[in-house]
Amino acid sequence: MEDIKEKLSPTMEDYLEIISSICKENKVARIGEIAKKMEVRNPSVNAAMKFLCEKELVHHEKYGFVSLTNKGQKIASEIQDKHDVLYKFLTEILWIDKRIADKDACEMEHAISKHTFTRLIKFFKFLEEGLVCCRPKLLQNFETYLKTGERVKCNCKKQE
Amino acid sequence: MEDIKEKLSPTMEDYLEIISSICKENKVARIGEIAKKMEVRNPSVNAAMKFLCEKELVHHEKYGFVSLTNKGQKIASEIQDKHDVLYKFLTEILWIDKRIADKDACEMEHAISKHTFTRLIKFFKFLEEGLVCCRPKLLQNFETYLKTGERVKCNCKKQE
DNA sequence: TATAAATGTTAGTAAAGCCTAACATTTATA
DNA sequence: TATAAATGTTAGGCTTTACTAACATTTATA
């Protein structure tokens, strides 16, 4: 049976993502640290934790630490995965500057569907296994093209 | 001198985009029609038009038609362009189903930076001009790969 | 251990976007 | 042209997500 998924807002997704990243570093997250990373004030975090507690996505007791439930961790990972794939696409295929790529990925991770996400992964797999002769050059050539405007000729012969 | 750009919310961007598309068909847009396409009620549209009037992005007089100012039209076009490029990427490169692609593009158009937008256009230009021998096959091969799992061999010889 | 500093919570407020219900205007028709 | 139907507006309320100011608890230190 499927979870009746009430879609989370981008904001709440960001909270989960940030809590997850803090917990990876420090085991647990504190209200103040979440606030700093989210660039909001403590009371906003409190309100969000109340909401996420009710949805059973985080654990939080008064004056205590915050941590993710299994359900919360699962969602956080999904968003992080979307972020990573988008970041990879932006930096390794479009050759976007890392700063901008990270910012764009942060926005787009909330917009991209699961379908497109898995398709992007397949696209990477396809490119990695690639065509026999020219494949590895294609994306490198794009980088050269961006820098110089020059197009590198494929170094193989047409067969017929 | 640059406009001090107060970034519009995705919602307001959607209003501009929809007004633009209605005006293309009917010359002018009416409140009720905007409401229908935005899937909201009339009073929500009224409130949005008040906001957009103050920002000088639309014209609207009581009980009258709605139309875009030049500034409003410019923004609407920018968003539409982002939508179109994303849609093209999703359908022509990732081979995503048109329905899903349109939905994803609608979300992502608000998230993608100008920088990434122009880079995507360059990417298309690069692919279209392409490598001499194998290029046109690459993306078609991806489609085959998605359907059959089979990888089509490049039909040219390595040169050395 | 008593007090100061750091941290967290509660209460009340605001802006963005949505809603319904009631009212106003415009357009179409008898 | 008087009235009905269609369309648009105003008023008031709700949710989300943020804020500040005041208060509570925990931790660190004299």
CATH number at residue A137: 1.10.60
The reply to whether B29 falls in a domain is: yes
Closest nucleotide to B44: CA versus each C1': C18
The reply to whether B23 falls in a domain is: yes
As averages over each run of 10 residues, the pLDDT of chain A (160 residues) reads 71 98 93 98 98 96 96 97 97 93 97 96 80 56 75 56
A131–B contact, CB cutoff 8 A:
yes
The reply to whether B119 falls in a domain is: yes
Gap between the Cα atoms of B14 and B80, Å rounded = 10
Gap between the Cα atoms of A77 and A16, Å rounded = 9
- Asked if B83 and B140 sit in the same domain, the reply is yes
The reply to whether A16 falls in a domain is: yes
- Asked if A35 and A69 sit in the same domain, the reply is yes
- Asked if A115 and A143 sit in the same domain, the reply is yes
The reply to whether A33 falls in a domain is: yes
A28–B contact, CB cutoff 8 A:
no
- Asked if A56 and A111 sit in the same domain, the reply is no
Q: What pLDDT is attached to residue A55?
A: 96
Q: What pLDDT is attached to residue A70?
A: 97
CB-CB contact of A124 with A88 (8 Å): yes
Model confidence pLDDT, tens digit, residues B6-53: 899 999 999 999 999 999 998 889 999 999 999 999 999 999 999 999
Q: Is the pLDDT of residue B134 over 70?
A: no
* Pair of tokens at residue A83: 């972020």
- Nearest CB among B108, B129, B134 relative to A133 is that of B134
- Nearest CB among B110, B123, B154 relative to A133 is that of B154
* Positions in chain C where some atom is under 7 Å from a protein CB: 7-12, 16-21, 25-26
**Total structural domains within chain A:** 2
Q: Which of A19, A50, A75 is the last residue of a domain?
A: A75
- Asked if A55 and A27 sit in the same domain, the reply is yes
Domain limits for position B132: 79-148
Nucleic strand D under 7 Å from the C-beta of A63? yes
Q: What pLDDT is attached to residue B124?
A: 87
Residues with Cβ within 8 Å of B23's Cβ and at least 6 positions away in sequence, in order, are: B29, B67, B68
The reply to whether A57 falls in a domain is: yes
Contact A104 B96 (CB under 8 A): no
